[in-house]
Amino acid sequence: MENKPTTRIINIIMTGLFIIIAITLITITGSFYTVEQNAKKSGQEQLMRTLNYVTNNLKLVIENRSLSLQQFSHELTSEAHPEAPLAETDREAIIATYLGSHEDQTNLLIQLDGSGVFAKAWQFADGTLQELSEELAGSYIKADPSLESLLGSGSLVQNSSDYFLENQSFVNLYSPIVAADGQITGYFIAPLNLENMFKAEIFSDTSDYSGYPLVKNADMEVVIHPVESQVGLDIISDRQEQFPDLDLSDLKRLEEAQLTQEEGTLSYYSYWWNEENPTKVLKLGAFEWIDIGAAHWVVALNSDFYEHNRVPIQNNYILLSLLLLISAIILIFILLIRGYNKKNQAYEESQRLIEKQKFENERHQLEKRILKESKLEAIGLLTTTIVHDMNNFLTPILGNAQLLMEDYAENEELVSELKEIYLAAEKGKDLSTNVLRFSKVSEGQQDTVHDLSKVLKDTISEITILTPKSIKVESDIAPGILVEGFDKQDLQVVLYNLLTNAFQAIDTRPGNVRIRLKKADAECNAGLQKRSIVTKDKEYAVLSITDDGPGIAEGLESNDLFDPFFTTKGSNGSGLGLFVVSSIADKYDWQIRLDRAQKGLTVCINIPLQKS
């Protein structure tokens, strides 16, 4: 079937818009690539100019340190003091002045004799000049890779090549000690801490941008680096061992370029090693090999490409692309209004159906509530009738039993049996009357404190008269459990209904019913206290009645058992026992819990204790 004309026009316009957007994105991508390449070239040229400044400055600083050592050496010679040799105190003052001038960089001075054998050493620390033993100062001589060959050749350069001690890098500055006759009588060696010198004199990290210069030797070991933990590391193997999960393939390319070229620039992916978890960034780098004394180093300078190259042309292209995309979005939005209207109609219809369903659910809930209230009204009427009829039945029993006890007062055995009949009938009359009382608290009972243990024992002794002989009732009741605000007769009604259910569950076969009362443990108390702000400070006692009957059938919800007229006993049950129990429990804010077991059922009632 052929599309309608309006639909065809919309499709053509949409296709045209997508083609325009695609062309725009391709153009922007090409422009960004060109901008990026130009920015890289410009950044590398800037880095190379900055690198020349750094290398010249590095050479100049080390040369100045060497000249300072030579000047100091000359001040100690007899040629500088022709009148009289220097006193030891004056000599030490000159040494202290020299070492103190750059204490953080050269705080150690070693003197060798003309044969290159250790003669003396001094260290300047905390404003004091101290003389060092050969054992302490000798490590700086032993670690020097250049000294032995230079002394053997008879010509000293201004400084040694680099070496490492205790994760720090050094070069030794040299100065011969020349006598008045021009003979070399010894040598002064001053270890120069390259890291401290570089940070103090050349590199001061005050920039907001990432990037820094560093120095490596011919073995690609880091000699100078702003992060001290990197000093002495091989830039590939040691870092790979330190960070096994990082990709260092571009660092290998950088190392290859630096080992094969005297100078150069390049871009590469690397990491900022001053971060705890280094992140991969695109860097611009420039490097140059230099010789300072016996040291042969490559000085490198790097920076974060994306931090330094937010050029205006890039912002212009971003602005252009945003304008094109906004225009396309506006056009598409206009064309989609028709579709939106249809969706809006469907949404309104859906909301109408949801409201209708909600109304049906509310009506269903209302019907259920009316039905329940009707049941409760029927319970009230039925209860009144039952109480009236039971009282009519029990009144002649009580009266005749009392008359028989008076007539046969001399027969103690018969009187005893008649008394049991009288007490049972009287108890039945009380229980039937109390059914009317479970919906309200009796006056005068709200503030009454009862010993729950005693009330329970008395109630059990009275109710067990009705216990079938085939059922054994056991009790385990903790003493001295005080509860306030309940009527003893309400507890009798609860216990009577629960025991009746237990007896009926066991039926005619032998069985056991266990009644237990104890204070709740800390875990149980904590769970009950979370119910509301009213119960957060209360403690509880637990009354449990356990039978070994068949228990609750599978698939039956525990909450259903408390509904009025709900029964699993067919015509043998009224469905009111647990309903009465739950009503009395609600009146006193007692909590009821049914625990299913493989055999039998346990009904637990949590009763708040008297506040201490």
Q: What is the CATH number of the domain that holds 513?
A: 3.30.565.10
- Please identify, among 255, 283, 308, the residue that sits at the C-terminal boundary of a domain: 308
CB-side neighbour CA atoms (13 Å) of 296: 8
What pairs with residue 539 in β-bridges?
none
* 573 and 476 part of one domain: yes
Decide which of 375, 407, 437 is a domain's last residue. 437
Residue 372, in any domain of the structure: yes
Is 602 in the same domain as 470?
yes
Q: In which residue ranges of the chain is pLDDT below 50?
A: 1-5, 438-444
Specify if 548 maps to a domain.
Answer: yes
CATH number at residue 247: 3.30.450.20
Q: Does residue 26 lie in a domain region?
A: no
- What pLDDT, on the 0 to 100 scale, is given for residue 80? 52
Per-residue model confidence (pLDDT) at position 338: 64
Own/partner pairs, 12-15, CB within 8 angstroms, 24+ separation: 13/331, 13/335, 14/332, 14/335
503-539 pLDDT, tens digit per residue, is 877 777 788 888 888 888 878 877 777 776 767 778 8
Q: How many domains does the chain have?
A: 3
**Looking at residue 208, what is its pLDDT?**
55
Q: Which helix (H) or strand (E) holds 419?
A: helix 412-434
Inter-residue contact 55 to 299 (CB < 8 Å): yes
> pTM of the entire structure?
0.49
- Do 302 and 349 lie in a common domain? no
Tokens describing residue 191: 């270890």
300, 214 in Cβ contact below 8 A?
yes
Measured between alpha carbons, how far is residue 17 from residues 31, 321, 327, 339, 565 in Å?
21, 14, 10, 18, 71
In a domain? residue 139: no
Domain with 549, as residue range(s), is: 443-608
Asked which of 437, 456, 490 is the last residue of a domain, the reply is 437
Of 488, 482, 485, 476, nearest to 513 by C-alpha is: 476
Same-domain pairing of 354 and 400 = yes
One domain for residues 241 and 289: yes
Instruction: Please report the pLDDT score of residue 442 as a whole number.
Output: 47
Predicted local distance difference test score (pLDDT) of residue 3: 45
Domain assignment present for residue 284? The answer is yes
My answer on whether 426 and 451 are in the same domain is no
Are 535 and 493 part of one and the same domain?
yes
User: For every residue of 537-572, which 3-state class applies, written as one string?
Assistant: CCCEEEEEEEECCCCCCCCCCHHHHHCCCCCCCHHH
Same domain, 293 and 349: no
Is residue 149 domain-resident? no
428 inside domain: yes
Alpha-carbon distance of 501 to 69, in angstroms, equals 108
Do 482 and 591 reside in the same domain of the chain?
yes
- Please indicate, yes or no, whether residues 404 and 516 belong to a single structural domain of this protein: no
Q: Are 550 and 568 in contact (CB under 8 A)?
A: no
Q: Are residues 477 and 553 in the same domain?
A: yes
One domain for residues 282 and 429: no
Whether 66 is covered by a domain: the verdict is no
Please give the pLDDT value at position 481.
82
